[in-house]
Amino acid sequence: MLYEKLRLFIPVKYIYLPKRLKNKRNIAFVILPENCNFFDFYNQLKFKKTSIRVVYVPRTKRPVVTRLTNDMRQKIRDYKLIPISGKIQEDYIDLFGKNFFLDPTVFLNSVVKKYKLRNFFKGRGLSIINSVLNSIGSIPQTHFERVILYAVDLNKYIPNKLLYKKFFPILQAGFWSPDTLS
> For the chain, which residues make up each domain, given as ranges?
27-152+159-181
181 has pLDDT over 60:
no
Instruction: Give the model confidence (pLDDT) of 66-102 as tens digits.
Output: 899 999 999 999 999 999 998 866 668 788 889 999 9
Write the DSSP assignment of 8-50 as a string of letters: P----S-B---SS-TTS-EEEEEEEESSS-HHHHHHHH-B-TT
Mean pLDDT of the region 145-172: 84
SS3 153: coil
pLDDT at 9: 55
Average pLDDT, the chain: 82
Among 15, 5, 8, CA closest to 48: 15
- Is 20's pLDDT higher than 90? no
pTM score, two decimals? Answer: 0.83
Using DSSP, state whether 6 is helix, strand or coil.
Answer: coil
Please state the rounded mean pLDDT for residues 164-175: 77
On the CB side of 87, how many CA atoms lie within 13 Å of its CA? 4
78 contacts 38 by C-beta, under 8 angstroms: no
74 vs 167, more confident? 74
